[in-house]
Structure 1
Amino acid sequence: MSTMMSFLAYSMATNPDIQEKLCTEIDDVMAYYDEPNYEAVSKMPYMDMVVCETLRMYPPVIRFDRHCTENVTIAGIHIPKGMVVAIAIYTIHHNPDIYPDPEKFIPERITKEEKEKRHPYAWLPFGAGPRNCIGMRFALLEAKIGLARIFQNFTFEPCA
């Protein structure tokens, strides 16, 4: 998650309007809490969108492999038992058919309505299915609490 937080800091420095909106949400929610916690960050939907968009643009793993356990045909393509299938996460996350203007940082891609328009496997920073990352929820919570604390006191600006 430290890599994700570094990319998020870069994204905020290069998108000050998004950073301002994120800081406003954090300040509004944290007015009711002494310190960031699970309840506080769960009331920050924009932070979730910013984190998820960061993970879309800069996935921690660019691909993962799966071994086919039985002969199968998907969309007319035969995959024999024993074949290794590589899932190119970075490529999926930067596919303009799925994410228009994929190189642009747009947190609003991650609203509930926008997510429902896409295939459930169009966002895979933690893998998917029964072999996805078991620490995903904890990692996201830990990162959001850390980010709330950081943005309460600092803003990011690009350097020369």
Structure 2
Amino acid sequence: MSEIKALIATLEAQKIDALRTIWCDQFEEGPPPLRSANVLRYLLAERLQLRAHGSNHDLDRRLCKTASRHRPGYKPTVRTAAFKPGSRLEREWKGERHQVDVIDGAYVWNGQTFTSLSPIARQITGSRWNGPRFFGLREEAA
């Protein structure tokens, strides 16, 4: 195991020809036809680690599925939160606690009924907000 760690540590300083030689020494087939030393370095390190530790097929499947969602031109579907009637959403804004009650197909805030959380967030803040994001139901943009 420590031999693999030591070998992977030496990859950082290697040029592409040396990386190809290491690949041929370690594996029976030749290296992939890459021109980038960095990409070959990462692939070589991954192959060495997989050989040493094995693979987790469930994790691989999930990672492939996640990676496919980040391809160019992919438009993600946004899942909206579905709450059961009787649920309550709370948010503190500028020192004031706001509570929104979920009723069948709508939301109640300050005695008013809304079909969406966004108008509620807009009235609370005085500016345009995405309602689910305002109430902490969506991740912040990175």
| Length-normalised TM-score, structure 1 | 0.24
Richer in helix (by share): 1
* Structure of higher CA gyration radius: 2
Higher relative contact order (CA 8 A, sep 6+): 1
